């Protein structure tokens, strides 16, 4: 199948659509981390994005492009996490009916948040049913448009607007770290990085337990794995996508991994030193900065904090 990959132009158009709808999230610094790493580190805080993660950007960009007919029939998404909330809020702002397919054992808080944004939630049994098949059959039966969490040109172009804002606010960088699940964030970041800071070393960061992205990047073929066992629940993806992979392969410099223990250390740093609640997946970038600090001396380094959605009791247990 021949597909047309999005370009930086699509990121610019996405940022125009997001104007007034998405937050321009803050870029924060920490003297403590600068001293520890011996570099100047800039954190792009998508934990302060609407719905608590960057997923709102891709969701809103996708829905804002719907035709009148698509708007009427509605959107369907399958996700138990941040994509569901991004789609639900974007749909409610744009007055598009939304249906979210979630596992019966999804955390009550996430179900409540999704319903709170006005979406209809349909449950499936994650052990016996295939959510993708359910999503597709809903789409076919009711004419709804399915928006996947990463492998879609409008989704990844929307995600790329976070890095665009980062470069526009701090200028070019020597190194940029972005978390990697299915690659919507990293591929969008690639488009913005190659346009706005072409010499920047762009590093994707995955949980060690789910290093399919690194293996795919190194082998040149999309590697599929079983759902990885990691606290980084936003990166428990099984493979990169047909849109995200070629962009990553062509424009990313390296993909590195970090352990769950390193994620917890980063989470503690954010809480204690920067007074921020960052979810485990949002800690991938900082964990990698600390792991590779020897090569960052004297450099200007960017980190995208991808999200901050975590159950507060669970957060407390991680900090103990």
List interacting residues with ligand PLP (CB under 6 A). Answer: 53, 55, 81-82, 149-150, 159, 179-186, 234-235, 237, 279, 281-282, 306-307
Q: Are 286 and 301 in contact (CB under 8 A)?
A: no
- The backbone torsions φ and ψ at residue 53, rounded to the nearest 5 degrees and listed phi first, read -160, 165
The residue nearest ligand PLP at its CB is 307
Q: Measured from the CB of residue 112, what is the shortest distance to ligand PLP in angstroms?
A: 18
| DSSP, res 35 | H
The residue (of 40 and 277) whose beta carbon lies closer to ligand PLP is 277
In angstroms, what CA-CA distances link 137 with 70, 73, 77, 143, 300? 16, 14, 12, 9, 48
The residue (of 6 and 181) whose beta carbon lies closer to ligand PLP is 181
Q: Measured from the CB of residue 277, what is the shortest distance to ligand PLP in angstroms?
A: 12
CA angle 223/228/230 to nearest 5° reads 140
DSSP, collapsed to helix, strand or coil, labels residue 48 as: helix
The residue (of 34 and 259) whose beta carbon lies closer to ligand PLP is 259
Q: In what order do the strands lie in the sheet with 120-124?
A: 120-124, 98-103, 75-78, 145-146
Q: Measured from the CB of residue 246, what is the shortest distance to ligand PLP in angstroms?
A: 15
Buried b (16+ CB within 10 A) or exposed e, 188-223: bbbbbbbbbbeebbbbbbbbbbbbbbbbbbeeeebb
Q: Measured from the CB of residue 170, what is the shortest distance to ligand PLP in angstroms?
A: 21
Q: Measured from the CB of residue 43, what is the shortest distance to ligand PLP in angstroms?
A: 14
Q: Measured from the CB of residue 179, what is the shortest distance to ligand PLP in angstroms?
A: 4
The residue (of 15 and 159) whose beta carbon lies closer to ligand PLP is 159
Per-residue HEC secondary structure of 103-151 comes to ECCCCHHHHHHHHHCCCEEEEECCCCCCHHHHHHHHHHHHCCEECCCCC
The residue (of 139 and 304) whose beta carbon lies closer to ligand PLP is 304
The residue (of 71 and 282) whose beta carbon lies closer to ligand PLP is 282
How many whole angstroms from its chain centre is CA 320? 27
């Amino acid at each position: 199948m021949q597909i047309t990959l999005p370009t930086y132009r699509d990121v610019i158009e996405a940022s125009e659509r997001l104007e007034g709808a998405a937050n321009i999230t803050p870029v924060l610094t920490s003297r403590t981390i600068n001293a520890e790493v011996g570099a100047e580190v800039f954190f792009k805080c998508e934990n302060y994005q609407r719905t608590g993660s960057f997923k709102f950007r891709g969701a809103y960009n996708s829905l804002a492009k719907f035709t009148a007919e698509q708007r009427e029939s509605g959107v369907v998404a399958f996700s138990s996490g941040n994509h569901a909330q991004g789609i639900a809020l974007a749909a409610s702002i744009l007055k598009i009916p939304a249906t979210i397919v979630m596992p019966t054992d999804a955390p009550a808080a996430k179900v409540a948040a999704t319903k709170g944004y006005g979406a209809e939630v349909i449950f499936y049994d994650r052990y016996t049913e295939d959510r993708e098949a359910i999503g597709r059959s809903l789409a076919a039966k009711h004419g709804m448009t399915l928006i996947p969490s990463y492998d879609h040109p409008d989704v990844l172009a929307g995600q790329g607007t976070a890095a665009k804002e980062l470069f526009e606010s701090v200028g070019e960088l020597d190194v940029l770290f972005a978390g990697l699940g299915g690659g919507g964030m990293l591929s969008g970041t690639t488009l913005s990085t190659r346009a706005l800071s072409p010499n920047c070393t762009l590093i994707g960061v995955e949980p060690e337990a789910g290093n399919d992205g690194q293996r795919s990047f190194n082998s040149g073929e999309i590697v599929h794995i079983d759902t990885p066992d990691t606290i980084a629940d936003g990166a428990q993806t099984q493979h990169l996508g047909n849109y995200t992979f070629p962009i990553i392969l062509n424009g990313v410099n390296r993909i590195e991994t970090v352990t769950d223990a390193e994620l917890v250390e980063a989470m503690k740093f954010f809480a204690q030193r920067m007074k921020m609640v960052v979810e485990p997946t949002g800690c991938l970038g900082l964990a990698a900065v600390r792991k590779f600090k020897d090569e960052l001396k004297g450099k200007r380094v960017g980190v995208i904090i991808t999200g901050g959605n975590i159950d507060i009791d669970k957060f407390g247990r991680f900090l103990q």
